[in-house]
């Protein structure tokens, strides 16, 4: 496998409600996106990385990664209006030799090297992989403040990233998707008829969405790396 990583960092962070997109806010002294970027840079099986960033951020981000000596970053591309569009643009920027693609949300700074290894190991066997965790709470379908019903939790998992696939599968899935929108690559692959395998994610691999997630991420980082923060 020749592995390329797409770091999706082109969102606006509307639910976070900050002037600066959340992936560029400082978390434990380092911009959010750099936490996961470093894990990929340091992972021996990752060959190159392409970042998708919001319009206007390309030069700044490229300068920052070059300054830090993150040499696997091949290109910083301008993302699109949706995550799907951002990833599609980044996909085009990967070198021709890359045959396996991992996609990761820059808003998930807490991934571990072990999780990346697990996803890659599964990818080697199966062509499309997603990491996810089982739903722990009881799930309710709620409309206008009223419980419509309780959804059986059995078999429900929460999708995380990294997700990945053989490059040709992913490209085929994008071609077939056309104008239809999907919230993650796995959904795109499923719709294209590919079987997507699940590996165990990590409950600490949260996606920073709201301000309280940001604080939670900071706490996890302090607990894990007391010397660094
Ligand atoms: N993303 C992206 N391009 C977009 C939208 C999202 O690359 N047009 C990225 C985000 O930067 C993030 C990941 O996809 O790393 C998951 O998206 P989400 O958590 O929804 O982030 P935002 O879209 O930025 O947040 P919000 O939906 O609250 O605006
Ligand atoms: Mg979004």
Centre of ligand 1 from the C-alpha of residue 84, in Å: 10
Q: Of 106, 105, 110, 131, which is closest to residue 216 (Cα–Cα)?
A: 110
Q: What angle do CA 199, 24, 53 make, to 5 degrees?
A: 75
Question: Which strand (E) or helix (H) includes residue 146?
Answer: strand 146-151
Mean per-residue pLDDT pooled into runs of 10, the chain (229 residues): 98 95 96 98 98 98 97 98 95 98 98 97 96 95 96 94 97 91 91 96 96 95 66
208 close to ligand 1 (CB < 6 Angstrom):
no
Atom nearest to 87 CA in ligand 1? 7
Answer yes or no: is the C-beta of 132 below 6 A from any ligand 1 atom: no
Cα–ligand 1 centroid distance for 155 (angstroms): 26
Reported as a single tens digit per residue, the pLDDT across 169-184 is: 999 999 999 888 898 8
- Three-state DSSP at 104 gives strand
Q: 10 CB less than 6 Å from ligand 1?
A: yes
Q: DSSP state, 14?
A: T
Residue nearest to atom 17 of ligand 1 (CA): 11
Task: Give the C-alpha distances (Å, rounded to integers) separating 123 from 55, 58, 88.
Answer: 32, 30, 20
176 C-alpha vs ligand 1 centroid, how far in Å? 22
Determine contact, residues 207/105, Cβ cutoff 8 Å.
yes
Q: pLDDT at position 229, please?
A: 41
Q: What is the pLDDT of residue 225?
A: 63
């Amino acid at each position: 496998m020749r592995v390329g990583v797409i770091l999706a960092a082109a969102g606006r962070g509307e639910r976070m409600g900050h002037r600066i997109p959340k992936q560029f806010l400082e978390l434990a002294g380092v911009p959010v996106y750099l936490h996961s970027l470093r894990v990929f840079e340091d992972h021996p099986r990752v060959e190159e990385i392409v970042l998708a960033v919001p319009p206007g951020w390309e030069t700044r981000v490229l300068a920052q990664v070059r300054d830090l000596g993150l040499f696997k970053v091949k290109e910083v591309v301008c993302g699109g209006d949706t995550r799907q569009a951002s990833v599609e643009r980044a996909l085009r920027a990967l070198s021709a030799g890359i045959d396996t693609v991992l996609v990761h949300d820059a808003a998930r700074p807490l991934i571990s090297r072990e999780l990346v290894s697990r996803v890659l190991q599964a990818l080697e066997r199966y062509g499309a992989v997603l990491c996810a965790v089982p739903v722990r709470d009881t799930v309710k379908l709620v409309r206008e403040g009223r419980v419509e019903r309780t959804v059986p939790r059995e078999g429900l998992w929460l999708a995380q990233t990294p997700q990945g696939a053989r490059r040709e599968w992913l490209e085929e899935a994008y071609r077939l998707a056309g104008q239809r929108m999907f919230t993650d690559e796995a959904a795109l692959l499923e719709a294209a008829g590919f079987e997507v395998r699940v590996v165990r994610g990590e409950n600490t691999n949260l996606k920073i969405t709201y301000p309280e997630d940001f604080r939670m991420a900071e706490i996890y980082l302090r607990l894990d790396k007391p010397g660094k923060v």
